[in-house]
Structures are given as structure tokens and as C-alpha cells.
Amino acid sequence: MSVSVTCIAPVNIAIIKYWGKRDDDLILPINDSISVTLSTDHLRTKTTITAGPEIAKNVLRLNGVDESFDNPRIQRCLQEVKSLAKASGKCPKPEMLEWNINVESENNFPTAAGLASSAAGYACFVYTLATLYGIESEELSKIARMGSGSACRSLHSGYVQWARGERPDGLDSLAIQLAPASAWPDMHVLILVVSDRKKATASTHGMATSVKTSDLIKHRASVCVPERIKLVQKAIAEQDFDTFGRIAMKDSNQFHAICLDTYPPCFYLNDVSRSIIRMVDQINTLAGLNAPVKVAYSFDAGPNACLFLLEKDVAEVSAIVRRVFPFTDSSAEEYYKGIPNDETAMQAVPPTVLDSFAVEEPNLLRYIIHTKVGEGPKRVG
């Protein structure tokens, strides 16, 4: 009698960062953001929702652990999807909308790693619910956004822009696709997951404190971001990696600058993050100070780096990362995840290039995920 649907949804990494809400309740941002959706082959949330008249109460399990369904954001997403389904009249079994649900959700990457798990999680929850109730709607963007702001970006594949919007009710604050993943097929991503002892400030709390105390955040939101949005849109349209990479790095830096201009300051980068930034900077200056950038970093609210690079530079950059960040605590299988290394190409990187990089102490990284830009949520199984 019960009905069950399983879907997966991707992680996304912002190139122009979302930091600061203009409405805490509706989760409306103070500035537009642009993100890249990562391949679900390597990073994804998978959610199964079962609805049935025999289910005594709503149940939520995340990564095998029972969680409270009383979370107001979960409740709100559920109510909003149900209302939409009712209004649409498309639900194949309208009685389902009265049944309780059982939600099982799991990530194939460590939640603790600070890899935008809440974005993928809420996107997957909303998308799976909508699939269960038989609806497809642009309004899912707005519902996912009320779960976790950046979740609306995980509903699309490829390159995505989430508009700030002007309306107080947030109806124009939606995520739209700028370009599909296939538009820039040689874009690769290396995620460097950093070993870290310290628990960072939760991003909801951090951004609220920034909006209240940073003297620079308004200037960022009103002057810097609008200029950068235009530049990144154009760079994506023209596949101009140099501009894309430079703005990505500058915006990551500016986001962390705003965190530091907050009182008390919030810190997400640590000494290992800084070593990664220095390494990237050295790679980019190897070819000359004004040469196009080969690799760009972006850091979310945590110490892990997301490196963007083109296929032609993957072997060289991977070989340099392997030299700078040696590992002894893990096997190569545990250390390298995702797309396999091209050992032949990596061995061909000239020793003179590698030797110019200083070697850090071992095991500063937990592991590396090699992935690409990818697709949005979909039903599976």
C-alpha cells in the first residue's frame, strides 16, 4: 500500500559566494551567487521517501542516525511541497498527501567534512518529495531555498545563478541554470579535504553575525558582487578560464575577509588552507606573472579547498599536489577518490617543475576527490 521514491542530488560549490541574509525567515540573500554543480558520480545525497497510511509518524534518518522531524526547516519544506502538490492537482494518489512519511537520507561523503552537505540534503529532500507527489515546478527552487539557502542551486546541473531578488516575499529569489555541464566539458575539480581538529562556526550563525557587525559586507554585496556576477557570467559563456579562475579566487578571499571583519571574527581557513593557497599561487606564477591562471581555489565555510582546472592541466596539478601534500596514514585508494589518476601523464611532469615546490609535513590532507561538473537531481533505482 505504501509508495516509495529514491532520488539523488548533487553538491554545489559557489564561485561567487552567498554570505548574509536580507530575510532570515524566508532565507533571502543580500547578494546574487553563482555556483558549480559537482558530479553525483562522486559526491551526492541519496534520499528515499516512503509514504504510507500505516506509518504512525514522520521519521527522519540521516546517515543511519534518527533525527528529529521537528526541525522547522524540514517541516516547512514538507508543508510547502504538499501545498504545491494539492494546488497542482497532479498527485497520482491524492490521499498520499495525508499519509506520514519515512525519510532515509545518506551522503556518500563525510557530512563533517564541510562539503555543502546541507545544500545537497535539502535539495534531495525537496526533489524526492516532489517526485513522490508527482509534481515538477520551478517553485521547488524557492522551497529548497527555505530549507538551506544554497540548496536551491543544487536543483540544477552545470553552472547556476541564485538571484538575490527584490521582492520582500522572495518569489523572485530563484536559482536558474546559466550553462549546462556539457557546455564546458574540460572543466575538472579537485577537492582537497583538510585534516582539521577545530569545529568551525556554523554558517547560519556566522553570516548573521557578519550582517550585524561587518562594516565591509554592505560594500561587498552592493558594489563588488554585482560586478563580479557579470564577469563570471561572461567567463562561463565564453569558457574564459583565466577570468573564471581569478574571480573565483578573489571572491573566495573576499568572503573569508568578510568573516574576519565580523566581530567576533569567524575563521574557516586554517594553516593548511593557506598552504594550499600558496601552492596554487606558485603554480599560477610558474608560467609568468601575467600568464593565464591554470588552477583556481575556492573555500566554503570550512578549511577544504575546491580547485578548478582544465583537463590539460590535471596531470601537472595533481603531480604537484602529490608532492606538496604527501600521505603516510592512508593507502592510495583511500587518499585518491573519484576519477582515477592518469599515472603516465603524472610521471611525465618534469622533475624541475616538481622540485620547485616545498614539501609540507605528511597527512595534512585527509583525501582528495577528483570530479567534474555534473548533473542535477534525478530519480534512481
CB of 261 to a copy of itself, least distance (A): 4
C-alpha cell at position 220: 561587498
Can you name the residues that pair with 106 across neighbouring β-strands?
Answer: 46
DSSP per-residue string spanning 298-310: EE-SSS-EEEEEE
Q: How far is the CB of 227 from a copy of itself (least distance, A)?
A: 8
CB of 244 to a copy of itself, least distance (A): 14
CA-CA distance, 262 to 274, in Å (whole number)? 20
Cβ proximity to a copy of itself: between 92 and 264 the closer is 264
Is 223 or 380 the residue whose CB approaches a copy of itself more closely? 223
CA distances from 240 to 116, 117, 190, 234, 314 (A): 26, 29, 19, 8, 17
CB of 225 to a copy of itself, least distance (A): 10
Shortest Å distance, C-beta 271 to a copy of itself: 5
Burial class (CB in 10 A: 0-12, 13-18, 19+), 127: buried
Q: Are 5 and 48 in contact (CB under 8 A)?
A: yes
CA gap 26, 145 in Å, rounded? 8
Q: Would you say 25 and 145 are in contact if contact means Cβ atoms under 8 Å apart?
A: no
Q: What is the DSSP string of 215-229?
A: SSHHHIIIIIHHHHH
Nearer to a copy of itself, 271 or 311 (CB): 271
Nearer to a copy of itself, 120 or 277 (CB): 277
Q: Quick one: 116 or 293, whose CB is closer to a copy of itself?
A: 293
- Are the CB atoms for 293 and 285 separated by under 8 Å? no
Can you give the binding site for a copy of itself, defined by CB under 8 A? Answer: 213, 215-216, 219-220, 223-224, 246, 249-250, 253-254, 256-258, 260-265, 267, 270-271, 274, 277, 281
Nearer to a copy of itself, 219 or 312 (CB): 219
> Which C-beta is closer to a copy of itself: that of 83 or that of 285?
285
Rounded to the nearest whole angstrom, what is the least distance from the CB of residue 287 to a copy of itself in the complex? 15
Q: For residues 7 and 217, give the distance between their C-alpha atoms in angstroms, rounded to a whole number.
A: 37
3-state helix, strand, coil in the chain (%, to 5): 40, 25, 35
Least Cβ distance, residue 220 to a copy of itself (angstroms): 7
